Chains A and B, each alone.
Chain A
């Protein structure tokens, strides 16, 4: 293989990509602006909705049986509630959008005086966000009342408040904040990374394979004294580079958007840190490159089967499923990098990247994943070269599986 020829093909493909506004927009610019814009929009809309819900008044109908109890004053202490003492019908209340009812089973005062259990019922259509939120506020207020009543009862029998609470469970989290972030990123980042690399690769792969077939430029290339492996190498490098650039663009954009969102929500952005060692970064970069090799070659092999841009797009969804299913499986609780999972393409890389984020990886496991990722990448490249070498690809006809086997 001649590197000068591969370089010529690679440079030409990149030049065409850079001049194709649609690809450039879809693969590079859109991801760059998408997440910050999306997160900013969602954050702003969320804040505005929350503010509106906070200001909206909710009427609380309190059963007349509770009129002489502390309940009306307690609920009324929250200015977002309008208190009305009146009996209510559950069926009619179910139709109300801004009304909650509180009633008592039996006699409140007599029940408390006899040290019995008094049941208070909060009623309303809690499928509505507003009423569900306010129910929680009412429950919080009533829990305070419950606590003071309990203390009163214990005082009555001369028992300390701790009598009713033999154990107090307190948690001591020994993990550093960076470990918590590593856990979250280790769970979700590998899947997103695979998705970004795949989407980055597939559109450029379609453009320079099926797209070229459709535009009738592929045959010209095959009449030059360039061999199939050189054509594949040049095109593959272009797909992998764009895929990698797109994935990194997506990733940086996403991280920037998350930090922006955290800042908008008043979080301490400077406290966010990761604990990945230098060795971990080396493994991570190796794995990202290898997964790009695999997904770029696979995208090229599959899109070569199509004769047009439109036809190749119908292959995108099934191929995306093939990539996403193992990536999603890697998120499942208890899924770990073992000798068996290290053999499964995509799953192995997701688990390995996850382990690096979590700071819990072994050299042997990483070596195994790198070996198999490299093997699958080379197999995908071999498949692409088999399909590329098919006579029917050259003449723009349907790929013949018979010729492929031969």
Chain B
């Protein structure tokens, strides 16, 4: 990655776009502190990921396609486990788990082991896991991949509410540009490890003289 710089504000949904191998996952991994940048710095909720990794991670909810659920735990056990790792106080954790179980409709399968859940159910639990500590910043990489239209819509509506009603800063990485058009306030386009565009969708269209985001995207990464 070279000279990639962008920021996301509370209540904002920013789409991170780029073809395969552009560096999206690497960027997100650096934000989560999984990879150390050779130069530069990343901040989560004003905490340096490199210098204050624990504080930065405490403010971050992170979900990528490379993450799966513990197969032999139930959704509730899984949420409790991660809540304890984030050191959420017990009474608050119980209340938070109840809220997430309700919000994601997990109640009907909360006592099943995660290995027995459908893809859509697993994804709902994964996102609930990402939010169990009520982070200020949420990174979601391809959260609707493999889901049917109903499950995808449920997730997208939840992401919108999360940002607009709860004021979370959301980085949303996807290959579905229609989802980006519906959901994102701004887009960050990366190609070959470099920043191609950073701004709202209209500015991307204007910069490329296109009328659809998909065409603007192809123009930028050609």
CB neighbours (8 Å) of B129 from chain A are: 220
A5, A20, A223, A391: which contacts B60 (Cβ < 8 A)?
Answer: A223
| Given known A8-B81, A12-B81, A395-B35, contact A223–B62 (CB-CB < 8 A) | yes
Residues of A within 8 A of B34 (CB): 219, 222-223, 391, 394-395
**Interface bin, chain A:** 20 to 34
Mark out the residues of chain B between 27 and 72 whose CB falls within 8 Å of any chain A CB in the assembled complex: 29, 32-36, 53-55, 57-58, 60, 62, 64, 66-72
The residue in B53, B85, B129 that gathers the most chain A C-beta atoms within 10 A of its C-beta is: B85
Complex CA–CA separation, A12 to B82 (angstroms)? 10
| Contact (A223, B54) CB under 8 Å given A8-B81, A16-B72, A217-B69 | no
Contact among A9, A227, A391 for B36, CB-based, below 8 A:
A391
> Contact between A5 and B73 (Cβ–Cβ < 8 Å)?
no
Q: Are the CB atoms of A224 and B67 closer together than 8 Å?
A: no
Is the beta-carbon distance between B54 and A225 smaller than 8 angstroms? Answer: yes
Q: Does B158 contact A (CB under 8 A)?
A: no
In whole Å, how far is A218's beta carbon from the nearest beta carbon of chain B? 9
* Distance of B78 from chain A, by nearest CB (Å): 9
Question: Are the CB atoms of A224 and B86 closer together than 8 Å?
Answer: yes
The yes or no answer to A255 lying at the interface (CB within 8 A) is no
On chain A, the residues within 8 Å of B84 by CB distance are: 4-5, 8
B85 touches A225 (CB 8 A): yes
Which has the most chain B C-beta neighbours within 10 Å: A5, A217, A221?
A217
Interchain CA distance A5-B83 in the complex, whole Å? 11
Chain A at the B interface: mostly helix, strand, loop or mixed?
helix
- CB pair A396–B66 under 8 Å, yes or no, is yes
Q: Is the CB of B57 within 8 A of A223?
A: yes
- Expressed in whole angstroms, the minimum distance between the Cβ of B59 and any Cβ of chain A is 9
A215 to B113, alpha carbons, bound, how many Å? 15
A220→B72 CA distance, assembly (Å): 16
Does A216 sit at the interface, judged by CB under 8 A? yes
Is there contact, CB below 8 Å, between B68 and A215? yes
Q: Give the chain B neighbours of A396 by CB distance below 8 A.
A: 66
Are B66 and A219 touching (Cβ within 8 A)?
Answer: yes
Residues of A within 8 A of B85 (CB): 5, 8-9, 221, 224-226
A-B contact pairs, 8 of them (CB 8 A): A8-B85, A216-B68, A217-B70, A219-B67, A223-B60, A225-B86, A391-B34, A391-B35
Chain A residues close to B by CB (< 8 Å): 4-5, 8-9, 12, 15-16, 19-20, 215-217, 219-227, 391, 394-396
Given contacts A223-B32, A225-B87, list 14 more A-B pairs with CB under 8 A: A4-B87, A8-B85, A12-B70, A15-B73, A20-B72, A222-B32, A222-B34, A223-B34, A224-B82, A391-B34, A394-B35, A395-B29, A395-B35, A395-B66
